[in-house]
Structures are given as C-alpha cells and as structure tokens.
Chains A and B, each alone.
Chain A
Amino acid sequence: MLKTFKLGGIHPQGEKLTAAMAIQPLQLPKEVVLPIAQHIGAPSTVVVKKGDLVKTGSVIALSSSPVSSNLHSPVSGKVVKIEESLDASGFKKKSVVIETEGDVWEDSISRDFPQTNFENLSSAAILEKIREAGIVGMGGASFPTHVKLEIPAGMKVDTLLINGVECEPFLTSDHRLMLEHGEEILKGTTLLMKVLNVEKAILGIEINKPDAILLLNKLAKNYPGIEVEALQIKYPQGSEKQLIQAMTGRLVAPGALPASVGVIVQNVGTAYAVYEAVAKNKPLIERVVTVTGKGLSNPGNFLVRIGTPISDLIKAAGGLPENTGKVIIGGPMMGKAIANLNIPVTKGMSGIVLLPVEAAARLNDVPCIRCARCVEGCPMNLEPYLLMALSEKGLWERAEAGHITDCMECGSCSYTCPSCRPVLDYIRSGKSQVGKIIQSRRNSASTDINTSIKPAIPE
C-alpha cells in the first residue's frame, strides 16, 4: 500500500495533457517586467536606474531584510523604466522593465558546464550561493529558500523531503523537470542535505508519474542517503504538512514550522535551481512553466525567462482559443484567475491553465444539505460548512474557536460541495477578519504591558 496523508483530501481529474511534452525553450522576450516583490517577505531594493545597461544574470534588486530575496536580470539590455505594473495578484507592483538587447551573460556564470569542485564547497558557502542567486520556493509559495534552510535555534532537522508530488491538475512542469533533469535535481538535493547537515533525503512522487519514479529510483542509487518514495494520488498531497505526514508520519502542530518535527521540504524545481546556482553560479532567471488547456493547439512545458509576458507563452502554445473563459496562473485548485494577459512570469509561476467558457462560470449554489463531504474532504480536519456559516454571519469568535486560521485554502471543500456553495470564499473572508482580530488583540496586549510598567498614578 502506497503512502498518503491521513485526513481528508479529494481526487480531482488529473488532466495532465502535457505530461509527454518535452521542455522547450521559449525565445527571448522583447521586454521583461520584473516585480520587486515576487517572493514572500519584504520587496527587494532596486539597485539599477533608468538607462543602466545590464547583462543576463546581473543583480537588479537586493534582498532588503532577513526575509527577502535578490532579483537578477533575466536578459541583457537596458533598464527602460521603473514603474508600477500589474502582476498576477491583479494589483500594480513596483517593477523594473528591461528592454532586451542580445543575450550577454555575466562572466561569472558558467552556462554549459558545472564549475569544478562545487561539491566540496562548505555548507556556509553553498547557503551563501543560494542566497545570492535569489532562489525562492519554486512550487508556488515563493518563500526565500535561504531563509527556509536556516533552522531556528533549538530545532534539529534529520530529514529533507523533496516535493515532486505536483498534485494540482493540469500542471506538469515538475514532472518534466524530473524526467529531463533528474541528475541535477539529485545533485541539488545532495547540496541541500549538506547545508542542512542531514543524512537522509526522500523524494516523494505521486504514482501518476511512474516514469519519473522509475528514472529517479535508478539515478538515486548513486546518491547516498537519497530515496524515492511513490505516493498515492490525492490532492493536496503537495501541501507541506500533508506531505510530511504522508512520508514520515510526523504531524506538524498548528502554527508550527516543519523543522519542529525535524523536516524541511523543498520542491524539485527548487532543488534544480540550487544545483544551477551552486554548480554554475547561475541565479534564478528562468523556470519551466506549463501552458495547458483543452482548447490550446500547442500546449507544452516551456523554459522561459522570468519577466516574460504570459501573452508570449500563450502565443507559443498556439494562441488564446476563441472560447477561453478563464486564464489561471497556477493550477485550477489554488491558482489565481487573471483578467489581463500583460502580466509577467514570476519565480513561483508553475503553470498557466486555460479553461473554456463553459468551465469558467460557477454552477448556481443551493442551500447546504449538511452532507458532510466538506468535513470528510478537509485535510486540516476542520468543519468547512460551519466556518462558512459563521463567516457569513460574522460570528468571528466562534470562527476563531473553530480554528478558521488553520485553513490553507486548498479548496477541497468548494470542490466537493454538492450544493455548489462557495465554501472557501466565505472561509477566506472569515479567515482574514479573524486574522485581523487576532492581530489587534496582540497589539493591544502589548500596549497593556507598556501601560502596566508606567509608574502608577497616586490616588
């Protein structure tokens, strides 16, 4: 019996249309747009100005705080403007715009061959290279990798999990990366093991990718400490807490970090980027993006420079079909629908999914029939039907008591609801309200402490 996580989960159609399509490099864009906040944490500080000439791989923005990330130019050319520009969130963000002229790379980057002796770098030197290269979690979360690799004091990590689950329907970028760059992923994993000082790494892959499991199993024989584990197909297995439970049986407590149970999880794409950064000095300037949808004439997996407008990618995939009803950045379960195709590829963008008009609109919702499918499907073991009702009625205290903030917004509840109710919409709004209430309570608690240490006024 293959492993999987215990609580909840759903089985959406796989729809992996592009699983057999090799990664193809996309031609260079005429212009790249680089939002300086494409990672979790503080936006980076821009270090170029309008008119500057940059090479491919030049730093254009530096990490500004402990949780932040460097940003490099993915093309060579001229900085034409620094302006507010739309990104996948639908909001305008400060971005650096570079006009492409040729493709001249920074001299420090060895494009074709790994540098000699990169395996012998110290763990601190590897970490520094990861930080310099601006690597963030490539699975979609975009959390700066160097921060994740620094284990908080008092915690001991013994296992590195590499996430090759790719449980979102449609997406195949990780699958193709494993098939075409398995060796590099394993080398990256070995480097990550060295940074973390762990003896053991497990690469988890769902059984719907048997070719990747077979290949990496074979390759991993030459990498001591790395095992490959085939997992059952179940969404959201790629979620960190669920993956840790599925593969190690350990439970991460609410609000706790994976390191608290001795585990760090990294995506296969991140492991690949780590290899590129350490072995070739190559910063994170390109990634694999799946462009897919049933109406596309040429769906595929494209190696594309960060900052490329997604309209270029859709053009390469055969152009936007006439009956496109929705364009999703990421997978259909957790991705973001966008209104405007003039947004750039960012570091965490794993796919673009096009849905036809008939699949774009939601079905009419009817009252809850209390069938409990949302309760059975919730991987965090919450009661989505109840949190929905509490959020709808504004009963925040009860929503907080129902652990609404545990929700990771995987969408299993809305997916499974036979009444087609927008369960997650309500929970999301309730979660943000409860989050604000918790925050203001914390703030007022700290003011209380401040007032209590003031000298008492004599009566």
Chain B
Amino acid sequence: MSHLLTVSPSPHTKSDEIIPKIMRSVIVALIPVMVLSAIFFGLHSLRIMLAAVLACVFFEYSIQKFILKVPPTVRDGSAVITGLLLAFNLPAGLPVGLIVLGSLVAIGIAKLSFGGLGQNPFNPALVGRVFLLISFPVQMTTWTANITAADSFTGATPLGLLKEGIKSGKSLATLAGDAQIPGYLDMFWGNMSGSLGEISAVAIILGGVYLLWKKIITWHIPAAVLGSIFIFEGILWLIAPDRFMDPVFHLITGGVMLGAFFMATDLTTSPMTPLGKIIFGVGIGVITMCIRNFGAYPEGISFAILIMNGFTPLINAKIKPKRFGGK
C-alpha cells in the first residue's frame, strides 16, 4: 500500500442525508405547491418565483463573496428554498422591485447578518414577507384575480372579506352567503385569492406528507399548529357561532397550511425536542387565531410564527428530553 491508513475516532460511517440532500428533498416537496400556483396564477406565479429565487441566490452569493468575504454557500440549496418560500408568501401582482427588496431583507438581514444557515433566529422568508407587508401594505394586499375564476371576483381573500365584513357590521350569515367567499371545496383546492403558495391546501398537504415520509420534519409542529387552531376556534365557534367562523374555514384559508407544514417547521428556527415543538406549534396556533379574531390584520400566521421563533431559545432552554431511565 502506498499511503497511510486514516485513524479517527468512531463512528466510521455516515448517513448520506446531508444538508444539500435535505434541501433537495424540501424543494421536491414544494413542487406540488409550485404547480398549483402556476395553474391558478399562470405566468405571474412563475415571474414571482423566478425573481425571488434568483434574487435570494444572488444576494447570498454576493454578500458572502464581496462583503463578508467567506466562501459562498449557495450550493447547499437553502437560498433557493428561502426564495421559493418568500415567493409563496407574496401576491401574484407584486412588482419585481419589491420582490428583490424582500429577498435582500430575507437573505441579507434575517439570514446572513446572524451568521448564515443555522444561525438565524427568525425564519428568513417570513422576515422578508413581514417587512414588505408593513412597508408596502397596499401592494402586499392587492390580490390579482385568480385566472381560473370565470366570474373574475375582485380578488379579496376570504379572510380579508371576513375582516371587512365584520368591521362593517355584517352578520356571518350574510357573509357566508356572499358569493365572494368561495365554497370550502374550492378553497381546499386553492381556487381563491391569496398569496402564491398559500391558496391550495391540497398541494401543501401533499408536500407536507412528502416531508414527513422523508423524515425531514416530524408530525409535532404541523399537528400542534392545526390542532390548536381547530380546538381554539372550535371552542369560540361553539360558544358564539354568530360571531366566529367555524374552525374548518380557518384551517383552509390564509397561510395556515403553508405555515404549519413549511414555515413553522423550518429546522433552524423551531425547537429541538418533541414537547418543545408541540408548545411551539400550539403557541403559533393560538397567536394566529387571536390576531385573526381580535386583531387589526385579517391574517396573523406570519406574525405568530415569528413571535414563536423568538421563544424558541427559551423553549430549548426549558424543555429538556427525559434522560433514559431517569425519573
């Protein structure tokens, strides 16, 4: 033999599930959402996704290379995912300039200023989205009509209609009868107004099941988010059905599905232990429903996830796994 033997401590074998492979699986899981969004929004959706992905990759590469002067890590695929998730949280008519700005905030501020992949306390795509929502509220809530809607409704989201309706004193019964709120089956498929990737519960659940099957996420966070929303809203609805929509409406509208399966489950910004994940998910569900029912915004899951991201270090510090055989 012409070389020396390698000596290192055990283990001497390694799972091939390393970061680039995990990121590829996440991208695969996002395909159903991309397809459904392309079906419902047509070329708009491709324009937004392309702009966000290219901008995120560009900013990650150039900030790392020219400002931070560290080896760029775009090959790990995480910037592509941030770009896609940001795009999924944007309305289809958003100008490219704002998409680029949102990408800069997501990658530059929320991710790289904290040290890059694994170091960011808040979900980068959501930081980008919330930055845009607060800075450009009009553009961010101007919903392009869904191209499949033959009767071309105005484009307000079901949650927006609900909030406006309640503010103007309409009863839920009239609102529900209002033709502008699509039927539940339509909403389940995604035939409604909303951000690119949040409309189709079917596509999101398909991708989520893939993530669960590939063991990239565990069931704890999605179950806790969806379960707590169902129970919380269910209780309100049972007490006052004239003031609160039913829990199914809240599960399939807005960003709940996308948030529960793809945003809240972000590995870096969610807790480490199963119990911690459940607490985190319940927190998201409850905060979301408080914002939706009692807040000024029609939708609140982005805020809820970011708030619980902030609690993640505290949850990790306090919720410890029970040692084997321990009391």
A residues adjacent to B (C-beta < 8 A):
7, 10, 12-13, 90, 169, 241, 251-254, 256, 320, 322, 324-328, 332-339, 353, 355, 357, 359-363, 366-373, 375-376, 378-383, 385-386, 402-403, 406, 409, 411, 414-420, 422, 424-425, 428
Q: Is B174 in contact with chain A by the CB < 8 A criterion? A: no
Inter-chain contacts of B7 with A (CB < 8 A)? 90, 326, 337-339
B17 touches A416 (CB 8 A): yes
- Asked whether any CB of chain A lies closer than 8 Å to the CB of B6, the reply is yes
Report B-chain residues with C-beta under 8 Å of the C-beta of A402: 320
Q: Which residue in chain A gives the minimum CB-CB distance to B323?
A: A403
Does B6 lie within 8 Å of A325, measured CB to CB? yes
Known: A333-B13, A371-B267. A338 touches B322 (CB 8 A): no
A residues less than 8 Å from B142 (CB atoms): none
- Name the interface residues of B3-37: CB closer than 8 Å to any CB of A: 3-15, 17-19, 21-22
B117 contacts chain A at the CB level, 8 A cutoff: yes
Q: Specify the chain B residue showing the minimal Cβ separation from A244.
A: B325
Contacting pair B325 A254 (CB below 8 A) = yes
CA separation between A13 and B268, bound complex, in Å?
Answer: 28
Given A254-B326, A381-B324, A382-B323, does the pair A418, B116 have CB atoms closer than 8 Å?
A: no
Question: Which B residues are in CB contact (< 8 Å) with A420?
Answer: 14, 18
The answer to whether B14 and A335 have CB atoms under 8 Å apart is: no
* B4 near A414: Cβ-Cβ < 8 Å: no
> Which residues of the partner chain B approach A256 to less than 8 Å between Cβ atoms?
325
Quote the shortest CB–CB distance from B310 to chain A (angstroms). Answer: 15
Chain B residues within 8 Å of A, Cβ to Cβ: 1-15, 17-19, 21-22, 73, 76, 115-119, 218, 267-268, 271-273, 316, 320-327
A324 and B1 contact, CB distance less than 8 A: yes
Q: In the bound complex, do residue B218 and residue A376 qualify as a contact, i.e. CB atoms below 8 Å apart?
A: yes
Give the tally of cross-chain contacts (CB within 8 A): 157
Q: Which of B116, B272, B327 lies at the interface centre, i.e. has the most chain A CB atoms within 10 A of its CB?
A: B272
Given known contacts A325-B5, A369-B267, A380-B324, A411 and B15 CB-to-CB distance under 8 angstroms? no
Is B4 a contact partner of A375 (Cβ separation < 8 A)?
no
Q: Are A332 and B11 in contact (CB under 8 A)?
A: yes
Contacts of B22 in A (CB 8 A): 371, 418
Shortest distance between the CB of B221 and any CB in chain A (Å): 11
> Which of chain B's residues has its CB closest to A324's CB?
B1
- Please give, as numbers and ranges, the residues of chain B lying within 8 Å of A373 by CB-CB distance: 17
Contact of A369 among B6, B14, B268 (CB under 8 A): B268
Contact B268 A370 (CB under 8 A): yes
- How distant is the Cα of A339 from the Cα of B117 in the complex, in angstroms? 36
Instruction: Tell me which residues across on chain A come within 8 A of B6, comparing CB atoms.
Output: 325-326, 337, 357, 360-361
**Which among A322, A363, A381 is the interface contact of B14 at CB below 8 angstroms?**
A363
Could you tell me if A334 and B10 are in contact, using CB atoms closer than 8 angstroms? Answer: yes
Q: Which residue of B lies closest to A252 (CB)?
A: B325
Q: Please indicate the chain A residues that have their CB under 8 angstroms from the CB of B2 in the complex.
A: 322
Closest Cβ of chain A to B323, distance in Å, is 5
Known: A339-B7, A422-B9. 8 other contacts (CB 8 A): A169-B13, A369-B118, A372-B267, A379-B324, A382-B321, A386-B272, A415-B11, A419-B19
Closest 5 CB pairs of A and B: A411-B11, A369-B118, A360-B6, A371-B267, A332-B13
Complex-state Cα separation, A415 to B119, whole angstroms: 22
| Structural contact, A425 and B9, CB atoms closer than 8 A | yes
Chain A residues contacting B8 (CB-CB under 8 Å) are: 326, 337, 362
B11: chain A residues within 8 A (beta carbon) = 332-334, 411, 414-415, 424
* Cross-chain contact B323 with A333 (CB below 8 angstroms): no
Q: Are A363 and B18 in contact (CB-based, < 8 A)?
A: yes
CA distance A322 to B17 in the complex (A): 29
Chain A CB within 10 Å, residue with most, of B15, B116, B320, B324 = B324
Residues in B neighbouring A375, C-beta threshold 8 A? 272-273, 321
20 examples of A-B residue contacts, CB within 8 angstroms? A169-B13, A325-B3, A325-B6, A326-B7, A333-B10, A335-B10, A336-B10, A355-B12, A361-B6, A369-B267, A370-B118, A375-B273, A378-B321, A382-B321, A383-B273, A406-B323, A406-B324, A409-B10, A418-B17, A418-B22
Bound together, the chains give a CA A382 to CA B13 distance in angstroms of 21
Query: Are B118 and A367 closer than 8 Å at their CB atoms?
Result: yes
Contact B15 A416 (CB under 8 A): yes
Pairwise interchain contact B320-A370, C-beta atoms closer than 8 A: no
Partner of B325, one of A251, A336, A367, A428: A251
* Cα–Cα distance between A136 and B14 once the two chains are bound (Å): 30
A359–B327 Cα gap in the complex (Å)?
A: 41
Rounded to whole angstroms, the CA-CA distance of A338 and B7 in the bound complex is 6
Residues of B within 8 A of A403 (CB): 323, 326
- CB closest chain-A residue, reference B269: A370
Chain B residues within an 8 Å CB radius of A378: 321
When chains A and B are docked, how far (Å) is the Cα of A12 from the Cα of B323?
23
**Chain A residue with minimal CB distance to B216?**
A371
CA distance A43 to B14 in the complex (A): 35
